[in-house]
Chains A and B, each alone.
Chain A
Amino acid sequence: MRTYWTLLKREIIDHVAYFATALILSGLLTAMLVSVVLSFDGSDRELFGIAGGITATVAVVVGLCGLGVAQMYGDRARNISAFLTALPVTRAQIFIARIAAGVLVILILLVPPAVAATMLFGPNVDGVPVYRGIVPDVFRGLFLMCLACYSVGVYAGWHRRSLAPTLGVLPVVLLVPLLLVIKGFGPAVAAILAIFILACLAGTWCRFASSSL
């Protein structure tokens, strides 16, 4: 466990900007959610909240894809794994710690708004016409969306030998939130996203485990 913790700590320090941004964005999202709910009076003012939400979503998915690219492409460019595997560390440990760092960024981003939403739409709070049961589904969908975008970044970062071609995955990344908008947060979409994430991570792992470092 000490090895995993050390590797995770290294990932956090190396990508501290992403963690800090996730924390700030999480605070903003929570504040925005609270503000929208508390000031809700049945008028169309919540549209401003929706516009802000779309902007935040684009920033989040692009940012998470960027984190994946930065982790994997940065490793390749700076021979980090080549150095680490000369120490008592296996490739599996490096990969797991890296993905754990990505998941941690997503949790930092989503857990505070999720807690706030659970409290705001709780059984004792009235005023906003939202079905309470939708909250877990929405955050599960958002979590999978974030993880899918991050996984695409991880895949592109390790499969491309130069940085510019990784920009080609941006349309795919932007399609992922559209899937949620069009198909909603149901189990079918969750299953599609889960398969997509597994495919991206398994593909990256196969390449990472077998390629030259």
Chain B
Amino acid sequence: MDDHPIVVENLVKYYEGRCVLNGIDLKVPRGCIYGLLGRNGCGKTTLIRTLLGLEPPTRGRTMLLGHDSRCLSARARARIGYVAEGHNLIQNYRVRRLIGLCRDLALHWNEAFFSQLMETFRLPMDRKIKELSAGMRAELNLALAMAVDPELLILDDPTLGLDTVARRQFLELAIDLIQKQDRTILFSSHILGDVERIADRIGIMVAGKLIVDCELEELKRRVRKLQVMFPSEAPKDLYITEIIHQRNAGREMVLTVADWNPQKQAILETFGPQSCTELAMTLEDIFIECTRPATAAVVEGSEV
């Protein structure tokens, strides 16, 4: 049994002369729910597609379940469930036919579980895929991915295009399914609240680079947001390393910094602040701070 179902080594991908993935290194441990975050066009989908062997890498190597992604065997693929961004199903097939095709091609098919899901979703079997709503397509795609009892589940922005109610329903079900069985999951989403609820490890991509790769709790612990009040105008530079973002407004300074420690605290004290208050940070706050264009390089250097 491989301890890391997902391994990415120095992955570089150029697309039409543009660097889409720039030296990604990643190892996802078995049983981990990994939340992959990033703004539009940062390379999340390309990374996932490269992992699945749908995109050839320009340089580097990706491995799924111990097999090179470029030559995944049918047996290895049978252990992977994939929900593609936009729910890439064969549009002109009827639901019944698509299910039949997936069932016939699967090496292992949990009919009882699939029937249970279909009963929950109540999908119209005679309707064509292109006639289904985005929510129905998402549900069908999830059901097809889950029916094979995958060891590794890859969800690429599965709630994209769903309204709030459909998204919540989908997520409740997905969380339920995920938590019931011990499996490795790579979950990409723009909805940070969703990721925060289910992920135990986080990766943040900015411009083709993985600038954050650590456990969610560790990320929350290491990135601090401080509101510092000075007696007079706040100093422009604190000479502290690993500042992710700094905003000055008169006497007030709001500072987001990685790896806050007593040494940094001591340096701050030399500027004689009146008060220093720690502000609570959600994953969304951390994400926004980390993906600001000017701060991405700082975070990368800090090796969060």
Contacts and interface: CB of A to CB of B under 8 A. Distances in A.
Interface of A: 2-3, 6-7, 10, 78-80, 82-90, 93, 210-213
B89 A89 contact: no
B36 interface: no
A106 B136 CA distance: 40
Contact of A213 (B54, B75, B104): B54
B301 to A, nearest CB: 33
B158 to A, nearest CB: 13
B90 interface: yes
Interface string B197-228: 00000000000000000000000000000000
Contact of B53 (A3, A83, A85, A87): A85
Nearest to B50: A212
The A interface, classified by DSSP as helix, strand, loop or mixed, is helix
30 contacts: A2-B104, A3-B105, A6-B101, A10-B101, A78-B92, A80-B90, A82-B54, A82-B84, A83-B84, A83-B88, A83-B90, A85-B52, A85-B53, A85-B77, A86-B52, A86-B77, A86-B80, A86-B82, A87-B105, A88-B75, A88-B105, A88-B107, A88-B148, A89-B74, A89-B105, A90-B74, A210-B56, A211-B56, A212-B54, A213-B55
A73 B102 CA distance: 22
Given A3-B74, A6-B101, A88-B74, A83 B54 contact: no
B106 interface: yes
A2 B104 CA distance: 8
A124 B91 CA distance: 56
Contact of A6 (B80, B90, B105): B105
A25 B84 CA distance: 42
Contacts of A2: 104
Which interface residue of B55, B75, B84, B105 has the most chain A CB atoms within 10 A? B105
A87 B84 CA distance: 12
Given A93-B74, A212-B54, A87 B102 contact: yes
Given A10-B101, A78-B92, A88 B54 contact: no
B192 to A, nearest CB: 26
B167 interface: no
Interface in B80-106: 80, 82, 84, 88-92, 101-102, 104-106
B297 interface: no
